[in-house]
Amino acid sequence: MVTDPRTDRIEIWISRPAAGWRFRIARWLRRAATVLDGQRDLRFGISSCPALPTETVDNCVSFGVDAIARALCSEHKQAVEEEQLRRLRPDLFLDEERPGAIR
């Protein structure tokens, strides 16, 4: 099967560089909002030829957001466990506090 590169393509970008002054102002406002409320903003675009159904794109985006949430929960759990270990068993982390120490 031969594919025509002009028609068979998909392009996905995250935070594409701003082209004009409106995009630069919008980016500045989003950064200011992040400083104020501490929340993150994820912006991406999807362009494909032939066009994908909206339902397919929505399902993929939902799956991606769920994967991000699982990864963040896993990182949080590991950080909490390490913090508890450092508090309850500081002897396990002596080598990190004194580089080059032999146990």
Which pLDDT tens digit goes with each residue over 30-79?
888 888 888 877 777 788 888 889 999 899 989 988 998 999 999 999 99
pTM of the complete model beyond 0.75: no
Higher pLDDT: 69 or 23? It is 69
The pLDDT > 70 percentage for the chain reads 74
Q: What is the Cα–Cα distance from 34 to 25, expressed in whole angstroms?
A: 14
